[in-house]
């Protein structure tokens, strides 16, 4: 092969990778599902979008039934249909995307729903909040969410999209083919095209926007009482480097502070197994005084169990809200001041504070310009993070599986060796 031909091939693949592939990445960000529910006495509520992690359609704690729903897709291939089970009527006929499923003006409750997404590269998952039962488990396309024959109303619903595993594999294969071709040809023509082609990072590397200069990535989990009894020796042997463990929480309705019943066992056994540890506290503080109280509660637990010398990862404030929680109606400034109050107490104690939440919350419900002194831990489950600021830990799924833990567990990448 002539030198000119080699150069032409390199330039061709460089153009493909540098122009077309980023367009594909950008378009992926436009994929979403939106849904709108009709509620007792309130009528149609504004649409909810799945990219706003933690958002849902409906209410909790207000005894309001969902009566109807409309679901729409944006940028998603495949055919969407859905049907609902309604009080006295039973299962109604299936409707297509954008159509109303359920009833309005008849005061009849929705009791269950089935959503189907067929011939798509995405899977649709959904769960419902049911009278007296609370949030039920997530189900997949074609499965029933809710109850029938129990006279229980659906009060809220969450719907999300997930790219199927085989689609990720296809994208990775294409990406690797392009990278290999570029690399093979560029070896023979570095003297002509020097520094024009950066090597393609892995999906993890693309998401890394941390202040850490190290290229190392550390695998971790975060756990609470919901993971039950954990065999930490098996966790360590499975390759887990770190764990951030919930020490406590403030109730999102009554506001009482509670220690996580598994905290002592988890933190002690994780340390003994050689897993590095950090701590998080789920906050629902409504003012700075409550935030300070939460931080001091965390420090008291650390001293109570003599943990200070064993903690290497940060002390984290987990800040979220949902409709019906006591902190839901706070302003951006109030939430931000609460986070600062917590973090400053931790910082002044000699430990490292950190802020945790999901993308939408960080971008819309906090003023992150005021929180630059603290590391950020972001939750984003869409295979890519769309958060444009620096972060040092990425929680990339809540459906991980690790030896030593029964059921699902949150999985994380840390781009910093704490």
Residues 24 and 144 in one domain: no
Residues 391 and 360 in one domain: yes
The CA distance from 249 to 285, in Å, is 10
Is residue 8 a part of any domain in this protein? yes
Residues 386 and 286 in one domain: yes
Is residue 224 a part of any domain in this protein? yes
User: Looking at residue 83, what is its pLDDT?
Assistant: 95
Quote the domain boundaries for residue 175.
3-28+166-186
Residues 100 and 177 in one domain: no
Is residue 201 a part of any domain in this protein? no
The CA distance from 396 to 229, in Å, is 23
Residues 118 and 180 in one domain: no
Is residue 67 a part of any domain in this protein? yes
Residues 341 and 243 in one domain: yes
Residues 16 and 108 in one domain: no
User: Radius of gyration over alpha carbons of the chain, in Å?
Assistant: 24
Residues 155 and 177 in one domain: no
Residues 18 and 37 in one domain: no
Residues 287 and 173 in one domain: no
The CA distance from 415 to 215, in Å, is 8
Count of domains observed in the chain: 3
> Mean pLDDT, consecutive 10-residue segments, the chain of 418 residues?
59 54 45 88 84 73 90 88 92 92 91 92 89 87 89 91 61 48 47 40 46 70 96 95 96 89 97 97 96 97 95 96 84 96 97 94 93 94 76 92 94 93
pLDDT per position as a tens digit, 315-326: 999 998 777 789
Task: Report the chain's mean pLDDT, rounded to a whole number.
Answer: 83
User: Looking at residue 31, what is its pLDDT?
Assistant: 74
Is residue 199 a part of any domain in this protein? no
User: Looking at residue 208, what is its pLDDT?
Assistant: 46
Out of 133, 155, 186, a domain closes at 186
Give the residue from 149, 145, 155 showing the smallest Cα distance to 109. 155
| Pairing status of strand 375-379 against strand 393-400 | parallel
pLDDT per position as a tens digit, 155-184: 999 898 877 755 445 544 444 544 454 455
* Vertex 304: Cα angle to 302 and 307 (nearest 5): 40
Tokens standing for 371?
A: 């929180």
Q: Give the CATH number, domain containing residue 243.
A: 3.20.20.80
Residues 283 and 297 in one domain: yes
Give the residue from 352, 276, 269 showing the smallest Cα distance to 314. 352
């Amino acid at each position: 092969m002539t030198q000119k031909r080699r150069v032409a091939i390199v330039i061709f693949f460089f153009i493909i990778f540098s122009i077309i592939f980023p367009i594909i990445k950008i378009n992926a960000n436009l994929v979403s599902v939106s849904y709108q529910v009709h509620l007792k006495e309130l009528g149609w509520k504004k649409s909810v979008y799945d990219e706003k992690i933690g958002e849902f359609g409906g209410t909790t704690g207000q005894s309001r039934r969902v009566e109807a729903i409309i679901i729409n897709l944006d940028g998603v291939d495949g055919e969407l249909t859905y049907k609902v089970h309604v009080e006295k009527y039973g299962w109604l006929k299936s409707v297509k995307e954008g159509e109303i499923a359920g009833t309005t003006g008849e005061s009849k409750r929705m009791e269950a729903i089935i959503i189907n997404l067929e011939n798509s590269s995405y899977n649709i998952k959904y769960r419902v909040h049911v009278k007296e039962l609370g949030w039920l488990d997530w189900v997949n396309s074609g499965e029933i969410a809710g109850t029938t024959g129990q006279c229980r109303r659906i009060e809220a619903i969450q719907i999300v999209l997930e790219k199927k595993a085989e689609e990720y594999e296809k994208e990775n294969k294409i990406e690797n083919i392009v990278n290999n071709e570029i690399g093979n040809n560029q070896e023979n023509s570095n003297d002509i095209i020097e520094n024009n082609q950066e090597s393609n990072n892995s999906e993890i590397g693309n998401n890394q926007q941390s202040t850490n200069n190290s290229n190392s990535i550390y695998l971790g989990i975060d756990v609470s009482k919901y993971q039950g009894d954990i065999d930490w020796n098996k966790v360590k042997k499975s390759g887990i480097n770190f764990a951030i463990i919930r020490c406590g929480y403030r109730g999102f309705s009554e506001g009482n502070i509670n220690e996580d019943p598994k905290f002592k066992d988890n933190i002690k056994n994780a340390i003994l197994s050689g897993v590095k540890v950090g701590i998080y506290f789920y906050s629902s503080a409504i003012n700075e005084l409550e935030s300070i109280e939460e931080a001091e509660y965390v420090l008291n637990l650390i001293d109570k169990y003599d943990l200070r010398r064993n903690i290497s990862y940060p002390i984290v404030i987990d800040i979220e809200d949902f409709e019906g929680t006591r902190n839901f109606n706070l302003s951006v400034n109030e939430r931000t001041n609460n986070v600062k109050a917590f973090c400053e107490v931790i910082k002044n104690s000699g430990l490292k504070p950190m802020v945790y939440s999901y993308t939408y919350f960080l971008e819309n419900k906090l003023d992150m310009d005021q929180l630059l002194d603290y590391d950020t831990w972001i939750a984003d489950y869409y295979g890519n993070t769309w958060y444009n600021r620096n972060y040092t830990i990425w929680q990339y799924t809540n459906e991980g599986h690790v030896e030593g833990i029964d059921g699902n567990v949150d999985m994380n990448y840390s781009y910093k060796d704490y």
